[in-house]
Amino acid sequence: MSGLAATSLPSTGTLLALLAAAAVLVAALAAVMRRWPEAFPLLAVVALPFRVPVAADGRTVNLLIPLYLVIAAGTVAHLLAPLLERRRLAPAPQAVAPEGQAGPPARREVAWLGWLLLGAVALYVLQISYSADRAKAAENVAFFYVPFGLLFVLLRDVRWTPRLLRRCLGLLVGIAVVLAGVGFVEYYRKSLFLNPKLVAANQYDNYFRVNSLFFDPSIYGRFLMLVMIGVTTAVLWGARREAQVGAAVLAWLLAGLVTSFSQSSIVALLLGLVVLAAWRWSVRGTVIAAAGLLLVAVALLALAPSSWHFGLGGRKGSAENATSGRAALVEGGLELFADRPVQGYGSGSFEREYKSHRTGSQATAQNATSASHTIPVTIAAEQGLPGLLVYVALLAVAFLVLFRGAGRSPPRIAIAAAFAALVLHTWTYADFLEDPFTWALLAIGVALARAQREPAATPTANTV
């Protein structure tokens, strides 16, 4: 995601100074959050996309340092609350609950989701013990799973009023519009501001992929895709004036998405739009229309010249070319799972085990990444059947909580559609629990579902 050029770890003195400055900033932010409760969700939303790559021990880790500071401040403010005041918070507003709809998720289903998230992290930690790359796994736990777990708890207990939801969407739209503009500049200049690896790759492609201020065009595309689903919701359920402004924003962001050439993001966006259309109009009609459009697309692709077949046609056509090397990663991941279906090879070990098991060509080894670009395959290879079972259960309960009883509540429908699109994107790219948007969407979805079931109750922290 977005960030600055990679920097090495500073010296001890500099590190202490940075930690002191961070502590002062966290204290100041915590004070602001205590005085203005909406500050935490707004700052968290602004910080969600931005990562700063830090080089250490021969590898570069993209850390969400701005988000870490916000989470730390939110945690401090949350822990200080019982000490600073004993009075209960005001009742949660009922405006976010859907109208005239019954059957919201039961308390046990909402609780299951929290326990499954905790279980997924706990299992990942346990399977570090026999991993061939414990450093990589430890990085995921320390830099992603633990802070994002705190983010989930904090956002889950926010009172998500319609005004707060609109403000958060407005901030995301503003960021996306600016980043898309940066991408247009890159496309016009045919040069990137960041990511020298992508610069080199663009020299050998027939098209130029922009990544704006992100380090990966697919992550850039994922961000734009999620924002577009939120804007589309506002267009479909909003007033006429909002629809006109939203349509203009969607056109701008769609152009930005196209310049990223992120096929996975475009496919995920289509799924999100299908979900929104099904809830806005008719599930049956949407399925029929989507199936018809899919058949038309397949027919056009079959009739098109081989050069338009996205790497599938022509003399060099293959699934490997069409997926930019991801087919080999998936095949290798499935082979790893077949070798150790029960326990897997350990958390964070995919890259190292893939290279050691598939040494047929240097090019293949160079294409190996920290994941298979298909999250279920990565989980199967690293964590075996236990990891897959937890993953499937987590998705099942998450979709149950997000979709059940969503009714005519645009905020809940938007969250559910965005999460479905994000899950599909992880099946064609990477990063599920490593993406803060996963935890944020689930947290907001849980909060809205809980407000629907208990509109007059005060959101309180549950044990996760």
| Average pLDDT over all residues of the chain | 80
For 149, half-sphere exposure in the C-beta direction (CA atoms, 13 angstrom radius) is 19
pLDDT 10s digits, 212-269: 778 788 889 999 999 999 999 999 988 778 888 999 999 999 999 999 888 889 999 9
Is the CB of residue 148 less than 8 Å from the CB of residue 140?
no
Is the CB of residue 445 less than 8 Å from the CB of residue 401?
yes
Domain ranges of the chain: 1-81, 107-453
Report the pLDDT value the prediction gives residue 181, as an integer from 0 to 100: 92
Report the pLDDT value the prediction gives residue 261, as an integer from 0 to 100: 84
Amino acid present at 358: R
Higher pLDDT, 293 or 48: 48
pLDDT 10s digits, 81-90: 766 665 444 4
Q: What is the pTM of this model?
A: 0.84
Compute the chain's Rg from CA coordinates: 22
Per the DSSP assignment, residues forming a β-bridge with 56 are 59
Is the CB of residue 322 less than 8 Å from the CB of residue 314?
no
Please state the rounded mean pLDDT for residues 164-188: 93
pLDDT 10s digits, 271-321: 999 999 888 887 777 788 878 877 876 776 666 555 444 444 444 444 444
Report the pLDDT value the prediction gives residue 429, as an integer from 0 to 100: 84
Report the pLDDT value the prediction gives residue 195, as an integer from 0 to 100: 62
Please state the rounded mean pLDDT for residues 435-447: 96
pLDDT 10s digits, 78-114: 888 766 665 444 444 444 444 444 456 667 788 899 9
What is the dihedral sign for C-alpha 345, 351, 357, 358? positive
Report the pLDDT value the prediction gives residue 199, as an integer from 0 to 100: 54
* Choice among 199-213, 218-232, 395-409 with the minimum mean pLDDT: 199-213
- Whether the per-residue pLDDT at 334 is higher than 70: the answer is yes
- Whether the per-residue pLDDT at 460 is higher than 60: the answer is no
* φ, ψ (nearest 5 deg) of residue 190: 55, 40
- Whether the per-residue pLDDT at 6 is higher than 50: the answer is no
- Whether the per-residue pLDDT at 363 is higher than 60: the answer is no
Residues whose CB falls within 8 Å of the CB of residue 203, separated by 6 or more in sequence, listed in order: none
Report the pLDDT value the prediction gives residue 351, as an integer from 0 to 100: 86
- Whether the per-residue pLDDT at 372 is higher than 80: the answer is no
Higher pLDDT, 442 or 202: 442
